[in-house]
Amino acid sequence: MTSAPAPLDLTDPAVVADPYPAFARARAVAPVQWHEGLGLWLAFTHPESNAVLRDRRLGRIWQDKAPGERFESFNLIHRNAILEMEPPHHTRLRRLISTAFARGHVERLRPWVEDLAGRLVDDLLEESAGSRPVDLLTGMAEQLPVAVIAELLGVPDADRHLLRPWSNAIVKMYEYERTRQREDDAERAADEFVAYLRGLAAERRKNPGDDLVSHLVTVRDADGDKLTEDELVTTCILLLNAGHEATVNVTGNGTLALLRNPDQLQRLRDDRSLLPTAIEELMRFDSPLQLFERTATEDVEIGGITVGKGQKIAALLGSANHDSAVFADPETLDVGRTENPHITFGAGVHFCIGAPLARVELQATFGALLDRTSSIELGGEPVRRPEFVIRGLAELPVVLTA
């Protein structure tokens, strides 16, 4: 076994603040290395991480958190999640969800998302007025994707404030360093969220609308198969948790990257046609999800080592996205980068089903910031969230000028 180099301590505040130098050192040692502390293999390079995501012998094998009675709702929303299963169950569930999404939900929401992004920037501009710092995270990045998912699902306005706290508590369970309090908070949030969505689904069965929950309630495949209620509830929770966390953190991480690379921000202002490639580059440059685990269902060779049956291996997405063998000058932000095979949305059968919606949200967010401001500057020191797996900011003070 090749042990991970000492600098890669996922609980080290310096690594949490900026993991990319540690990743570069690790890539120079070996593409895949054993991490004794985590008890799993880590894939640091792009080809090996890509292989981890695509190899069908490496699966998402969910195991309930124990004791089961303590994590009843948390286990329920993962046991039935498309992200935590393999074919043939994954194939069936993804087909049903894709059928519901195929009713044009993403394009239906595009004008609404663009209008919301504009209104949120206008509110920040009014508050900042070219001199006062405002928090881009609470003022825009957190509000927009939650509102979009709520609109997509048909959650009434009066209930939308519940969604982000539930999601925030649940995703804390994905970190390797957890307190008992965080675990209790995650289970409580999962329980409340499940109960809420059961009620919403029951209402949509009686009074269907043009929202995704209504379509998920009624969708059937060619064989007449349909979603179970647990699958429907889990799908809605996954859309919120995975969907909004990624968008929030690309918005925060990406804006900070542009502010620290003002030449690239100016390139975008001068040539708005670069916006689609810029969004892809911001996702690559500081990835919102850093680690994705798989479990070997048989012995698998990856990067010169053998992952034994039952062992886990994780793709380090941020490290893969900075692999100099694949990306020219990977530590340089280049909003015009066209050769950009980043794996921020994953790869293979678990490629993010919400990727098109995330791109609509991010293009609307950055488009509104560029269109409605003449200047964006840091208004103080950003505060980074203290977790490694889900990488994002807690505060991003900015000063905006119309």
The CATH number of whichever domain residue 147 belongs to comes to 1.10.630.10
Q: Which two tokens stand for residue 263?
A: 């030449």
Q: Which helix (H) or strand (E) holds 58?
A: strand 58-59
Asked whether the beta carbons of 36 and 51 are under 8 A apart, the reply is no
Beta-bridged to residue 381, according to DSSP, are none
Q: Does 336 reside within a domain? A: yes
Q: Does 2 reside within a domain? A: no
150 class by beta-carbon count within 10 Å (0-12 exposed, 13-18 middle, 19+ buried):
buried
Calculate the CA 19 to chain-centre distance.
Answer: 18
Asked whether the beta carbons of 50 and 324 are under 8 A apart, the reply is no
> What is the spatial distance between Cα 20 and Cα 316, in angstroms, rounded to a whole number?
11
Q: Does 361 reside within a domain? A: yes
Check residue 241 and give its pLDDT.
81
User: What residue has token string 């663009």?
Assistant: 114
Q: Does 8 reside within a domain? A: no
Query: What are the backbone dihedrals phi and psi of residue 296, each rounded to the nearest 5 degrees, phi first?
Result: -75, 125
User: Which residue segment(s) compose the domain that 283 sits in?
Assistant: 13-401
Q: Does 3 reside within a domain? A: no
> What is the spatial distance between Cα 22 and Cα 14, in angstroms, rounded to a whole number?
10
Q: Does 247 reside within a domain? A: yes
Check residue 7 and give its pLDDT.
47
Check residue 2 and give its pLDDT.
56
What are the start-end ranges of the H helices in 210-261? 212-218, 229-260
Q: Does 315 reside within a domain? A: yes
pTM exceeding the 0.85 threshold for the entire prediction: yes
Check residue 190 and give its pLDDT.
95
Q: Per-residue confidence of the chain (402 residues) as pLDDT tens digits?
A: 555 455 478 778 899 999 999 999 999 999 999 998 889 999 999 999 999 999 999 998 888 999 999 999 999 999 999 888 898 899 998 888 888 777 778 888 899 999 999 999 999 999 999 999 999 999 999 999 999 999 989 999 999 999 989 988 998 888 877 899 999 999 999 999 999 999 999 999 999 998 989 998 988 766 678 889 999 999 999 888 877 888 999 999 999 999 999 999 999 999 999 999 999 999 999 999 999 999 999 999 999 999 999 999 999 999 999 999 999 999 999 999 999 999 999 999 888 888 889 999 999 999 999 999 999 999 999 999 988 999 999 999 999 999
DSSP letters of 191-221? HHHHHHHHHHHHHHHHS--SSHHHHHHH-B-
Q: Does 5 reside within a domain? A: no
Number of domains, the chain: 1
